[in-house]
Amino acid sequence: MSREHLTSALRRIAVSGTNAMTDRATALREAGRDIISLSVGEPDFPTPQNVIRTAKAALDGGKTRYTPVTGTLALKQAAALHFRRDLGIDTRPEDVIVTAGGKQAIFEALVATVSEGDEVIVPSPWWVSYPQIVRFAGGKVVPLVTHPHHGFRFDPGDLSAVISPRTNWLILNSPGNPTGAVYPRQMLLGIADVLRRHPQVMVLSDDIYAPLNYTGEPHSTLAALCPDLADRILTVSGVSKSHAMTGFRIGVATGPAWLLEAMGRLQSNSTGNPSSISQEAAVAAFEGPQDFLEDWRERFRQRRDMVVQAIRQIPCLSTPVPDGAFYCFIDAKPLMKRFDNDDNKLALHLLEHGVAVVAASAFGGKDGFRISFAADEKVLEEALTRIATALA
């Protein structure tokens, strides 16, 4: 047996760039090196206590068996509440699918619908897995390049320019990973006008960072703003980022019945139901108190301000202020000659100096790197000092 047995679909994809760097940092740490990891995409705050208690009670109460493949009724009800309360999407429990993390919902939706030669518009810089999944499905990634001076957002005109008769999806991620870009209401309304002229285009709205928005404006999402488009939109959310539950592996999505059915068919023949314990815990997450989020948002906002200020003091580095999520996407163009114009070399250089970051090229960007500010203030301060020293 050898690599020739791999399918052409599998040969088109690589391990996620963020996972690869995080694994590398963990290995170095285990070998005794002092490494600060700013490569990982998860909140450092503890999972809320009510969630932990519910997970323990689920184990003690024998909730250790198969559940319906696409999720328990209790979690679908709680997710419908979440979609209504937090995203403004008027959905019903039967219009919800529960998946093993938001990632599985995105994977299933694209694999179920993208055929050879179909085009998927992916704004770049992008979350690492979108283009990989599109390629795996046999589709063509059409990058919609965004720029720091526009807050890493595209506008309706930019979208019009890349839509073709073969476009079958537009991916929207707000607040976005890796840039923290947030699409305001007005901009989404403009994007909706373009979409109305192209009825073949579906929208995958990835709202997994919705609660982590520092603009002071309520979260806006396409399915809530434009109910006339709702039958073309899959909205993905979850508890990973909002409730520090990355290890529980629960995502939720709402969209048209035919698509949820197709996703469920894939799920029933692959992973089966998401973990029964995790589903119980996610009900507690959605239905329990949400007031801790106010505190988390404030802490993240303060860290963001601290990180942006420190980065801007390092010669040759620049970054816009991210409006949401917990990442800074940093430009290091003036330094790139020193690293043979290869930002992976820059990331490895920073790793040598004790900080794990992810190269911009992993996200379809270039000449820079992403850091996560989901780390303790003291840790962030030390990491920024190391970065400044490494680049001095």
Ligand X SMILES: Cc1ncc(COP(=O)(O)O)c(C=O)c1O
Number of residues that bind ligand X (CB under 6 A): 13
Pairing of strands 119-124, 36-37: unpaired
Residues 6+ apart with CB under 8 A from 8: none
Check binding of 211 to ligand X (CB under 6 A). no
Q: Which residues on neighbouring strands pair with residue 133, listed in sequence order?
A: none
Minimum distance from CB of 15 to ligand X (Å)? Answer: 14
What's the closest the beta carbon of residue 44 comes to ligand X, in angstroms? 14
Q: Examine residue 82 and tell whether it contacts ligand X (CB under 6 A).
A: no
By CB under 6 A, name the one of 240, 267, 273, 279 that touches ligand X.
240
The answer to the question of residue 221 lying near ligand X (CB under 6 A) is no
Strands 233-238 and 251-254: antiparallel
Q: How many CB atoms lie within 10 A of CB 158?
A: 17
> Please, which of residues 260-319 interact with ligand X by CB under 6 A?
none
Exactly one of 67, 113, 174, 177 binds ligand X (CB under 6 A); which one? Answer: 177
- Residue with CB nearest ligand X? 101
Cβ nearer to ligand X, comparing 69 with 239: 239
Nearest distance, CB of residue 331 and ligand X, angstroms: 20
Among 41, 43, 151, 364, binds ligand X (CB under 6 A): 41
Burial call 321-359: b when 16+ CB within 10 Å, e when fewer = ebbbbbbbbbbbeebbeebeeebbebbbebbebbbbbbb
Query: What is the distance of C-alpha 43 from the center of its chain?
Result: 13
Residue 293: how many other CB atoms lie within 10 Å: 15
Our CB check for ligand X shows the closer of 108 and 335 to be 108
Binding status of residue 323 toward ligand X by CB under 6 A = no
Residue 377 CB coordination number (10 Å): 13
Residue 338: both structure tokens together: 């020193």
Span 89-148, contacts to ligand X by CB under 6 A: 101-103, 127
Minimal distance in Å, beta carbon 90 to ligand X?
23
Chain residues binding ligand X by CB under 6 A are 41, 101-103, 127, 173, 177, 206, 208, 238, 240, 246, 251
